Chains A and B, each alone.
Chain A
Amino acid sequence: MADIQLQDALLVKKYVDGDENALTVLINRHQSKIFGFIYSKISDRDISNDIFQDTFIKVIKTLKSKSYNEEGKFLPWVMRIAHNLIIDHFRRNKKMPMFRETEEFSIFSIMSDDSLTIENKIIQEQVEIDLRKLIEELPEDQKEVLMMRMYQDMSFKEISELTGVSINTALGRMRYALMNMRKVIDKHQIILTN
């Protein structure tokens, strides 16, 4: 691997110094990877050829103008250029990659409706009521910290300032609150899932 990187770096140097054959070697060496990468995103041979060409025009211009900073990462650099050109292509066409319906892939698998059904909504409401009841059973100091953290979205720093205890104490109370709730859930076999 290091050997190939060294060779790439050496070829780049030779090319920058005027050896045109070095570019031939670099293109021949990496064309499959780069073209394959572009085609995997575009799925169109003609457009992939255009993007491959534009990628190497950028590479050639950058190398010839001596603006390339050799860090032994020629291929990742070229891939990054190709990646940016692919994004430009999709932006220009204002469309996202096309998904074809196949036996293994159904378009409806990514177009599902995430909203809850009526039944799930009722279950969720019931779960929330049960949870509130459990919280009510906690000792006052633990309940206070848990309510502030979970329902008022306060940080432990804010909680400690408001309740007048150290952050560690607030953290400890939260930990005990959760442990106590778990105990009660286990003991009474309460199911809190939707």
Chain B
Amino acid sequence: MAKIYAPKKLVTNSMKPKKEIVSFLLNYSKALSFVKVKDKSFEIIAN
């Protein structure tokens, strides 16, 4: 029988990022917009 050298599985299905991270991402998404001027694209973050 081959010896398994892989380390212990660290992941469980219930692993989730912090709520603050998800909240930040959603707010960031709402604040972010792109404006195209001619062939250039500008990133705008609303405060």
Residues of A within 8 A of B (CB): 20, 23-24, 27-28, 31-32, 35-37, 39-40, 43, 48-49, 52-53, 56-57, 60-61, 64-66, 99-100, 102, 104-105, 109-110
Question: B7 to A20, Cβ gap below 8 A?
Answer: no
**23 contacting pairs across A/B (C-beta < 8 A):** A23-B26, A23-B29, A24-B26, A27-B25, A27-B26, A28-B22, A32-B13, A36-B11, A36-B13, A49-B21, A52-B17, A56-B25, A57-B25, A60-B28, A60-B29, A60-B32, A64-B29, A64-B32, A100-B7, A102-B8, A105-B5, A105-B6, A105-B7
Question: A110 to B26, Cβ gap below 8 A?
Answer: no
| CB neighbors of A among B6-40 (8 A) | 6-18, 21-22, 24-26, 28-30, 32-34
> Chain B residues near A20 (CB, 8 Å)?
26, 29-30
Question: A32 to B34, Cβ gap below 8 A?
Answer: no
Complexed CA–CA distance, A37 and B28 (Å): 23
Q: How far is the CB of A114 from chain B (nearest CB, A)?
A: 15
